[in-house]
């Protein structure tokens, strides 16, 4: 029992990684000869891949570690009862035993809805142990969904002049109005929008992701730009899950009014205070002096330059300057501002 508790705590550590990404907090470890050989956590929304469940990720890593698809002498510890996909993969991998934290009455396939792990019709049955650290595994899920409901109720950020809210398909006309301008997209790394329908598709497939906001004036609520915080793998910078990258643009009629620095300042607060990030990155392409000034105003510090990179969205070669702001630097700058007030 002590060993089961020990390894389930390791699975919970993986679940907490998913939690920080805004993913349903499910974690998993695979143990062989009393040692962890693979870890995994839920990344389905982050990676935009159906297969990115904790168990599948751990199975892939374990197979790579052992050099074999058969994991017959391995035990899996998972914080939540596996779904039908993961249960099937566990059987296919010939895993000896699965130790489960808490059950999943709505979708679990290790005894709740059905028990795929022990079907006699299959050529392999899996031993099951349930209820290890059940309360802790259940609590992190309950807390996640409670916070998710609260975020959905108030999922907008505000500044003195702006509302930052999720994009809606009804914003398509407003988005097209500003995003069709060739002065806006190309210098930020994306092609001008070609129609209202094109803008609507981009809202559905690109701008609807978590932590991406329409920049709207408080006076009329219409979208005039966009800002987003891409966390971990969602960034182009290959970041860990404790770091994020800010991207932004605003329509030409609103250039020079300080609106994007205002929006970036609020997103920095949100990233460091609400999302508990340790570091936030930003960047601008060579020649984009407006974006450079925004980052300087908001406290970002030059970090490095990527020269002659192929930018797929525009199919061209560019030089990109990367800047960064740590939590400590941000907190220090806030204290300095307070000191002058």
| CA separation for the pair 166, 177 (Å, rounded) | 18
CB 199 within 8 A of CB 176: yes
CA angle 194, 195, 201 (to 5 degrees): 95
Q: Can you list the positions of beta strands (E) in the chain?
A: 27-32, 35-41, 74-80, 97-102, 127-130, 157-158, 162-165, 212-217, 223-231, 243-250, 279-285, 301-311, 316-326
CA dist., res. 231 & res. 242, Å (int):
7
The tokens for 236 are 């182009």
Query: Mapping DSSP to helix (H, G, I), strand (E, B) and coil, where does residue 162 land?
Result: strand
Q: Are 21 and 7 in contact (CB under 8 A)?
A: no
Question: 């052992």: which residue's tokens?
Answer: 66
Please confirm, yes or no, whether 55 is among the known catalytic residues: yes
Residues 55, 243, 245, 320: which is the catalytic one?
Answer: 55
CA distances from 3 to 9, 35, 328 (A): 10, 10, 38
- β-strands 316-326, 301-311: how paired? antiparallel
Give the catalytic positions in this structure: 55
């Amino acid at each position: 029992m002590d060993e089961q508790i020990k390894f389930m705590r390791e699975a919970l550590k993986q679940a907490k990684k998913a939690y920080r990404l805004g993913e349903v907090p499910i974690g998993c470890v695979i143990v062989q000869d009393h040692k962890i050989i693979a870890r995994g956590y839920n990344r389905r929304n982050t990676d935009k891949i159906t297969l990115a469940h904790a168990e599948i990720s751990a199975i892939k890593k374990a197979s790579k570690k052992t050099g074999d698809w058969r994991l017959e002498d391995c035990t899996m510890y998972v914080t939540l009862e596996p779904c039908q996909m993961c249960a099937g993969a566990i059987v296919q991998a010939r895993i000896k035993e699965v130790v489960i934290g808490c059950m999943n009455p709505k979708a679990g396939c290790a005894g709740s809805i059905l028990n795929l792990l022990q079907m006699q019709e299959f050529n392999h049955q899996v031993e099951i142990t349930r209820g290890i650290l059940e309360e802790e595994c259940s609590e992190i899920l309950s807390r996640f969904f409670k916070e998710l409901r609260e975020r959905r109720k108030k999922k907008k950020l505000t500044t003195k002049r702006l509302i930052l809210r999720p994009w809606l398909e009804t914003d398509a006309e407003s988005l097209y109005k500003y995003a069709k301008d060739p002065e806006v997209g190309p210098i930020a790394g994306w092609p001008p929008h070609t129609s209202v329908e094109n803008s609507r598709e981009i809202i559905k497939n690109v701008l609807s992701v978590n932590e991406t906001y329409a920049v709207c004036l408080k006076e009329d609520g219409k979208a005039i730009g966009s800002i987003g915080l891409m966390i971990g793998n969602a960034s182009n910078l290959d970041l860990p899950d404790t770091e994020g990258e800010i991207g932004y643009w605003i329509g030409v009629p609103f250039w020079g009014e300080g609106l994007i620095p205002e929006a970036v300042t609020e997103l920095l607060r949100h990233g460091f205070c609400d999302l508990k990030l340790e570091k936030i990155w930003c960047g601008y392409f060579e020649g984009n002096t407006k974006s450079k000034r925004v980052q300087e105003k908001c406290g970002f510090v030059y970090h490095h330059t990527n020269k002659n990179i192929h930018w797929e969205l525009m199919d061209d070669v560019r030089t990109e300057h990367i800047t960064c702001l740590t939590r400590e630097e941000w907190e220090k700058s806030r204290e300095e501002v307070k000191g002058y007030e």
